Amino acid sequence: MFLNNLWFVIIAFLWVGYFVLEGFDFGVGALLRIVGKDEKGRRVLINTIGPIWDGNEVWVVSAGAATFAAFPEWYASMFSGFYLALLLILVCLIVRGVAFEYRGKGHSDQWRKRWDWSILITSWVLALLWGVAFGNIVRGVQLDVDHEYVGNFLDLLNPFALLTGLCTLALFLAHGAIYLALKTTEEVRARARSFAVSSGAVTAVLMAVAVGWQYSIRGTTWSLTSGVLGVVLLIGAVLITRTGRDLLAFGASTLSVSFFVSGWFLALYPNVFPSTIDPAFSLTIENAASTPYTLTLMSWIALVFSPVFLGYQAWSYWVFRKRISVKHIPDSPTELKHHMDDTDQDGTVGISSARSKK
């Protein structure tokens, strides 16, 4: 049982890491046309996550792979029961990744606008759907005696799961705004701080309701404590943001996400996929686990490669730690064309203007 418990903790850690890192990532994408009011502002937002967004997604790949290897019954029941929801998540992740890569390939405003909306919409949908998915896992689903999901897609859209989805959406928006306040300057930073402060109170209320509801469904003292800490730390992050101490505020929002998500797994344990039909049909860390040999082999592999992965990602964040300003953003080809069009009859003013902007 030691290895079973160990891998439950490891998987929980991977999901916490994913929601912390991809949480502000989704938040930045969702705020693209809210905080980034113009073209340069939006490019600032994208550049704050440009070097790291794809590295953040490694966490969800690792969490899925670890679940598949350590708890194959959990993986099979979850992916078959949540097939449509997870397919939608996968499509959104693909579209979002393509949008980041292709946004700068075209030279027209319309081209960039389409990809901007792709980033924004998929970020909102992903932030919502991940919360709905874990809301259902914590609440439990209709698993039969063979651990197969016998409900339908609409059963997943229950009130508790939808509330959890709204919580993750609101939390990621606040987390992303606080991250932007840390990574940007001037007008962009001011808009990010304003959004973080204004949205923080609503987010804290949603989280408090979700934590209380979760405790009434499948809570423990530990899960309640973790959830309450998440709410308190978010309030603290918002208050610190108002003072301008952005790094401390981001640390508080990071801990807020960590405690809120940890509360899900503390509420689950020792289950991994509860059944609402009969508690005896639930998947636990014992009946869903792989053989001891598999878990032992996985543990040695994780021991060797985890420091390499964590070290590389920490180094990436350190390299790209500086703030980004609109002054660092060169004019786009469209903007250069506008400058060149603003010329006198012989074109000398427009050419000099375009060169100076370069």
Give the C-alpha separation, 265 to 286, whole Å: 15
- Cβ atoms of 267 and 260 within 8 Å: the answer is no
pLDDT of amino acid 169:
95
Give 184's strand partners: 324
Give the C-alpha separation, 260 to 223, whole Å: 9
Residue 52: name the closest of 313, 294, 354, 233 by CA: 313
Give 271's strand partners: 284
Give the C-alpha separation, 136 to 159, whole Å: 10
Give the C-alpha separation, 243 to 306, whole Å: 37
Residue 188: name the closest of 96, 53, 323, 320 by CA: 323
pLDDT of amino acid 335:
54
Q: Where are the domains of the chain?
A: 2-324, 333-358
CA 163 to chain centre: 17
pLDDT of amino acid 354:
37
The token pair at 311 is 């070290």
The token pair at 42 is 């939006």
Residue type, 123: S
Question: Looking at domain 2-324, what is its CATH homologous superfamily?
Answer: Formate dehydrogenase/DMSO reductase domain (1.20.1630.10)
pLDDT of amino acid 340:
45
pLDDT of amino acid 247:
93
Give the C-alpha separation, 63 to 188, whole Å: 34
DSSP 355: H
- For the chain, the distance separating the N- and C-terminal CA atoms, rounded to the nearest angstrom, is 63
pLDDT of amino acid 24:
92
Burial of 142 (0-12, 13-18, 19+ CB in 10 A): middle
- Cβ atoms of 295 and 70 within 8 Å: the answer is yes
- pLDDT per residue rounded down to tens, the chain (358 residues): 899 999 999 999 999 999 999 999 999 999 988 888 788 888 888 889 888 888 888 899 999 999 999 999 999 998 888 888 889 999 999 999 999 888 888 777 788 888 989 999 999 999 999 999 999 999 999 988 888 888 888 888 999 999 999 999 999 999 999 999 999 888 889 999 999 999 988 999 999 999 999 999 987 899 999 999 999 999 999 999 999 899 999 999 999 999 999 999 999 999 999 999 988 888 999 988 999 999 999 999 999 988 998 998 899 889 888 888 877 676 665 554 544 444 444 444 333 333 334 3
CA distances from 298 to 12, 186, 307, 313 (A): 16, 48, 15, 21
